[in-house]
Structure 1
Amino acid sequence: MRPKIVLFGDSITEASFDVGGWGAALANCFCRTADVVLRGYSGYNTRWVLKVLDRVFPLKSQTQSLSLASPSNVVAVTLFLGANDASLPDRSSAFQHVPIAEYHQNLLAIIAHFKALWPCTVILLITPPPIDEDGRLRYPYGENPSGLPERTLESAKAYATACLEVGREACVPVIDLCSKMQSTPGWEKLYLSDGLHLTAEGNRVVFEEVVEALQKEGVSPEKRTVDLPLLSEMDPNDPLKSFQLLP
């Protein structure tokens, strides 16, 4: 069975299979060597994710779909949460807020669940992206009577730091997307469409960072075999011979 790469996170993951999305690009990158499985839940924070984690990824294999419970079948999983946790507790998206200490512990619990389910799978953390506060004011989620952004760059950076700390504590690799994006002048509008979600360029950055991080962990298309013969491998005089040689 073709191995799988699972993408798990909030709306930035859910939208990753949209046109130009980083998940779609990853699926194209690994075409014929691994299936990229999308598990994105728009608006979710780590507290909500923990409530449904065993439903999405049951530890009991007989209830799991897509053979995701097979330890050898999932080669990598991305964990991309925190943008909603970082909503400020006194503004319009307060219902999504999770205190930073709880966010830290929730990430550790999610990682522990993945390690129990897939002991040999690469778990790749991604920090929440930076926030363009002007963009959030231009594109608010719902009513915003305060006239203040429900997320701030300062808060996003604090949660990104917590995510990096979790990576060190759990010994899993982390993509510091927050710092990576801010290193480019004009990142606010170049990478973010509404102050939070990704533009095409923002998706490209995530895709490139994920591919590079997976390569460092030994997960790359070049190191995997295709599951059926390539056209270039077939004998034009006897194409069916290639299928007769399959194990």
Structure 2
Amino acid sequence: MRPRIYLFGDSITESSFTPGGWGASLAHHFCRTADVVLRGYSGYNTRWALLVADKVFPPAEGDSHGGGAPLAVTVFFGANDACLPDRCSGFQHVPLEEYKQNLHSIVSFLKKRWPKTTIILITPPPIDEEARLQFPYVENPSGLPERTNEAASAYAKACIAAAEESGCLVVDLWTKMQEFPNWKSACLSDGLHLAETGNKIVFEEVVKKLKEQGLSLETLPVDLPLIGNIDPENPLKAFEN
């Protein structure tokens, strides 16, 4: 069976298989070497993610996929945790220190289940506060954005710290995205979710992190022989090898 790469996160992960999405790009990139498995849950924060982790991931023994431990797992939460507690999406808010501890607990869960699996934490993206007012997802009587870029920055730093403390890789999306000119319109579709450039950034950064761990098209075996290695007169020979 092909090895797997799990994508675990909130709506930014759930929507990653839309056209041009970073998950779809990963699936295309690894199309002959690994299966990219989507496990995104719109609206979830790390508190809920921790509660359902055991339901999301197969047990180490008796894995129904038959593929053993996955090559890697991306953990992409924080955008909902960082909702301000006194705004319209306050029910999603998780205090900063709890968020960091939840990331530690999720990483510990994954490491216990699959000790050799590469884990990549991804920070929440930056926030375009003006755009958030134009695309509310719940009634917003206060007229104030439910998320701020300042809060997203704090949660991004906590994510980076959690990765460093737990020995995981991390993609600092909050910083990386803001390096692009006109990042608000180029990288975000509604002040929070990713537009084409934002998806491209996540895809490229995840591929880069995987390559650092020796997980690349150059190192991973392909699934079944490539057509150039098949003798039309005796195809069985290639398949047996």
Instruction: State the shift of 1:59 in Å.
Output: 4.0
Pair 1:176-2:172 in alignment: yes
Q: 1:228 aligns with which of 224, 229, 239?
A: 224
Taking the aligned partners of 1:101 and 1:127, their CA distance within structure 2 comes to 15
- Which residue identity lines up with residue 93 of structure 1 in the other structure? S
Q: 2:131 aligns with which of 132, 135, 151?
A: 135
- Which residue identity lines up with residue 46 of structure 2 in the other structure? T
Is contact 2:60–2:114 with CA below 8 Å preserved after alignment?
A: no
Match of 2:31 in 1: 31
Instruction: State the shift of 1:159 in Å.
Output: 0.1
Instruction: State the shift of 1:60 in Å.
Output: 5.9
Pair 1:66-2:65 in alignment: yes
Is contact 2:59–2:113 with CA below 8 Å preserved after alignment?
A: yes
Is contact 2:127–2:152 with CA below 8 Å preserved after alignment?
A: yes
SS in 1 for 2:51: helix
Of stretches 52-61 and 31-40 in structure 1, the one that deviates more from structure 2 is 52-61
Instruction: State the shift of 1:206 in Å.
Output: 0.6
Q: 2:107 aligns with which of 102, 108, 111?
A: 111
Instruction: State the shift of 1:46 in Å.
Output: 0.4
Alignment of 1:68-217 (within 5 A): 70-71=68-69, 74-217=70-213
Taking the aligned partners of 1:27 and 1:222, their CA distance within structure 2 comes to 16
Q: CA RMSD in A?
A: 1.3
TM-score by length of 1: 0.94
Match of 2:13 in 1: 13
Q: Could you list the per-position Cα deviations for residues 115-142 of structure 1 after superposition, in whole angstroms to 9, with x for gaps in the alignment?
A: 0011001000100000000110110111
Taking the aligned partners of 2:26 and 2:216, their CA distance within structure 1 comes to 10
Match of 2:56 in 1: 56
Instruction: State the shift of 1:90 in Å.
Output: 0.2
Classify 1:67/1:144 alpha carbon distance in 2 versus 1 (closer, same or farther; 3 Å). Answer: farther
- Which residue identity lines up with residue 17 of structure 1 in the other structure? F
Taking the aligned partners of 1:182 and 1:135, their CA distance within structure 2 comes to 16
Of stretches 214-223 and 101-110 in structure 1, the one that deviates more from structure 2 is 214-223
Pair 1:41-2:41 in alignment: yes
- Which residue identity lines up with residue 27 of structure 2 in the other structure? A
Q: Percent identity?
A: 61
TM-score by length of 2: 0.96
SS in 1 for 2:218: helix
Taking the aligned partners of 1:34 and 1:228, their CA distance within structure 2 comes to 12
- Which residue identity lines up with residue 35 of structure 1 in the other structure? D
| Number of residue-to-residue matches in the alignment | 241
Match of 2:4 in 1: 4
- Which residue identity lines up with residue 37 of structure 1 in the other structure? V
Taking the aligned partners of 1:238 and 1:175, their CA distance within structure 2 comes to 47
Taking the aligned partners of 2:237 and 2:24, their CA distance within structure 1 comes to 33
Q: Could you list the per-position Cα deviations for residues 187-230 of structure 1 after superposition, in whole angstroms to 9, with x for gaps in the alignment?
A: 01110000000001110111011101110111112101112111
SS in 2 for 1:54: helix
